[in-house]
Amino acid sequence: MDAETHSYRIAVDCMGGDKGPAEVVHAVALALEKLEASDKLILVGQEPVLSPLLRLAGLHTNPHIEVRHAPDAITMTDKPMQALKSKKNASMIVAFEMLKAGEVDAVVSTGNTKVLVGAGTIKVRMMPGCQRPALTAILPRKSGFTIMVDVGANPETTPEQLVHNSVLGALYSIAMLSTKKPRVGLLTVGTEEGKGGERINKTNAYLKELTKRLDWFEYAGPVEGFDVFQGDVDVIVTDGFTGNIVLKSVEGLVHMIKELLSGKVKQNPIYIFGILLLYPLLKAVKGQLRPEKFGGAPLLGLNGMVIKGHGSSNRYGTSAAILMARNALKSGVSSRAPEALSEVNMMLEEIKEEMAQ
Amino acid sequence: MDAETHSYRIAVDCMGGDKGPAEVVHAVALALEKLEASDKLILVGQEPVLSPLLRLAGLHTNPHIEVRHAPDAITMTDKPMQALKSKKNASMIVAFEMLKAGEVDAVVSTGNTKVLVGAGTIKVRMMPGCQRPALTAILPRKSGFTIMVDVGANPETTPEQLVHNSVLGALYSIAMLSTKKPRVGLLTVGTEEGKGGERINKTNAYLKELTKRLDWFEYAGPVEGFDVFQGDVDVIVTDGFTGNIVLKSVEGLVHMIKELLSGKVKQNPIYIFGILLLYPLLKAVKGQLRPEKFGGAPLLGLNGMVIKGHGSSNRYGTSAAILMARNALKSGVSSRAPEALSEVNMMLEEIKEEMAQ
């Protein structure tokens, strides 16, 4: 990352999403409109597939685009270790190699999450002071947004790792949502102390003590499921098991409501008039929820910027993920994290000693 | 419970809900319309408050209604052990005493969940063969309903307890939703084996082996968050930590969408015409989701029927909870459970021995 000229090189894995490379090329075209003149996008995938698509989109001579040939692709059923061994030439793995070698500043992929997390961790490696990566979702709330971390990278999270997630989430909130002093809540059942088990109690004690010694984020205490969409915290910290299940359940519910509505409209087309009349309202609500705006989930804690786009992303979603990578690079969030983690880890050792006394 | 005459006595805790005893009396009036002639509702609460309310509702001479005076009430901040010690005359505790003494067949309460679970477990006691109670939610899916168990009674659930939850959930699905051979899914992250940690792996192995030996429920394997609303399993088994957070997150999201919509309508009243036009559509979708139909969450695994109504229930929600108690009693679900659990526990011992070899 070159902070002086603010020019960033982002590798885009073109072979991972459900909608195929053509949709990714459309996403690249959309993203280019908003990127800065010095930025570069490196499209990683099968060159014989990508070149005609770029020509079709009128992008084949665009100086901001490069193609890096990768003959293989990760599928949705591949497993991390297997993929690392037998699919060294898959687009996602090649993109990670480029990030590791410093040829790019970020990787954006809509591919297999498990391989992304597993192979990403091994290839790109953990940031100093961090033990496990954390997948991060940006969720709407009544006013503003909540960052939820972890939503699936690390299902069995220790108290120390939950503290790390708090630090990474708070830094991300400051950098990307311009939060002044983020309020971090610990997701559990019931907000009184002693509920939720040993892991929650320890994390709660650590975060309480830690934020007495730190001035750049605040600990709001334990929060409940209701607070995910209705609360007033900026960051919700949880383990990757709970976070993943919450996120996917919510996605399933939204999907079900959409299906129910469209099924009813098909049964009785008269409803279409009501929907037309309500169109600006529905659009405004959708705008407030803005799923496209946050088409990516950053994988925090690695030695490099990795953004996971939703597997079913269309061009708008993937374009949003590319722009998210660009904005995250520009914010400098990654460069601040190792120092913050190292300070927090030192404090955590002190706190543990004091607690043991 | 008297199965021959099919007459049931249900204690209704009148002092617990957010909307106060007047709303509960309205709920009782609604429920009476659908109860059978021989059923009785025993309203537990402050007699000087309840009597005038019953008179106002024209129910003071109704032969199906009795009042049991309980001078005290559990508040939302009370804790189980404290409440059991210092609030022996609270309506919820008195209702449990009545259930324990066999004076009633079921207790319905919209009060403090933690006290309900904690005091309920101590007063009513666990069913033989069951270790911990499980709070159960009935959620809509594309076609039909999914039973999710546990949604908050037992945050740290062991593999054995997850198996018990499967048995209780499957029995409930058979009894209350007329499912022929319920399909049970184990909620986790990723459906391949080895994901989700030791507890999930053990439970997965137990359920696999167990359903080879049992013919009345089926194990569908691990399921993901997306399957809660989009899947095809009849019962979703999870620990009370994850289940509680999923349920409350979903509630928060639905609440947020409602608020966004009503906020926009207030900003621009023209939308009201669109909403009127769409009214039958919205009503049909709401009907399909039918929150009122399942206004109660049964607390399974106890030596008696306890139904938790949502704290914010209105008369329709509480009335649904009362009718749910009645239907659950009629279905005989509680009487079948101890035998099923004892059989499953024996099989589980065999399976553990075989696995250890």
d(CA A140, CA A147): 9
Domain A133-294 has CATH 3.40.718.10: yes
What average pLDDT score do residues B165-169 get? Answer: 97
Whether residue A150 contacts residue A166, with contact meaning beta carbons closer than 8 Å, is answered with no
**Residue A196: pLDDT band by 50, 70, 90 thresholds?**
confident
| Averaged confidence pLDDT in chain A | 89
**Residue A193: pLDDT band by 50, 70, 90 thresholds?**
low
Closest-CA distance of chain A to residue B145, Å: 12
**Residue B230: pLDDT band by 50, 70, 90 thresholds?**
confident
Domain B1-130+301-331 has CATH 3.40.718.10: yes
Residue B40, Cβ density class (10 Å: 0-12 exposed, 13-18 middle, ≥19 buried): middle
Q: How far apart are the first and last CA of chain B?
A: 44
Q: Which of B114, B190, B253 sits opposite A250 (nearest CB)?
A: B253
Interchain pair A241, B196: CB under 8 A: yes
Please write the tens of the pLDDT for every residue from B75-131. Answer: 989 999 999 999 999 999 999 999 999 999 999 999 999 999 999 999 999 999 999
Whether residue A107 contacts residue A306, with contact meaning beta carbons closer than 8 Å, is answered with yes
Q: Where are the domains of chain B?
A: 1-130+301-331, 134-291
Which of A76, A265, A278, A310 to substitute to test the interface with B, most B CBs within 10 Å? A278
Q: Which of A242, A271, A276 sits opposite B245 (nearest CB)?
A: A242
d(CA B267, CA A220): 32
Share of chain B above pLDDT 70, in %: 88
Q: Which range is least confidently modeled, A288-292, B44-48, B247-251?
A: A288-292
Interchain pair A253, B277: CB under 8 A: no
Q: Between residues A2 and B102, which one has the greater pLDDT? A: B102
d(CA B224, CA A245): 7
Residue numbers in A near B115 (CB within 8 A): none
| CATH class (in words) of the domain with range B134-291 | alpha beta
Q: Which range is least confidently modeled, A123-132, B49-58, B187-196?
A: B187-196
Residue numbers in B near A289 (CB within 8 A): 260
Distance of CA B77 to the CA centre of its chain: 21
Residue numbers in B near A231 (CB within 8 A): 252
Q: Which range is least confidently modeled, A273-282, B20-29, B128-137, B211-220?
A: A273-282
User: Apex CA A193: angle with CA A229 and CA A219, to 5°?
Assistant: 55
Q: Which of B114, B259, B261 sits opposite A190 (nearest CB)?
A: B114
d(CA A19, CA A39): 25
d(CA A96, CA A11): 9
Instruction: Fill in the amino acid letter for B154.
Output: N
Q: Between residues B286 and A207, which one has the greater pLDDT? A: A207
Residue B284 has pLDDT above 70, yes or no: no
Interchain pair A277, B281: CB under 8 A: no
Instruction: Fill in the amino acid letter for B283.
Output: K
d(CA A164, CA A210): 11
Buried b (16+ CB within 10 A) or exposed e, B65-102: bebbbbebbbeeebbbeebbeebeebbbbbbbbbbbee
Closest-CA distance of chain B to residue A101, Å: 31
Q: Between residues A290 and A351, which one has the greater pLDDT? A: A351
What average pLDDT score do residues B15-38 get? Answer: 92
Q: Between residues A30 and B313, which one has the greater pLDDT? A: A30
Per DSSP, helices labelled H in chain B are 20-34, 47-56, 80-86, 91-100, 113-124, 159-177, 198-213, 226-230, 240-267, 271-289, 315-331, 333-356
Cβ contacts from A onto B, under 8 A? 178
Q: Which of B141, B240, B264 sits opposite A281 (nearest CB)?
A: B264
Same fold, B1-130+301-331 and B134-291: yes
Residue A1 has pLDDT above 90, yes or no: no
Whether cis (ω within 30° of 0) applies to the bond prior to B78 is no
Residue A69 has pLDDT above 80, yes or no: yes
**pTM greater than 0.80:** yes
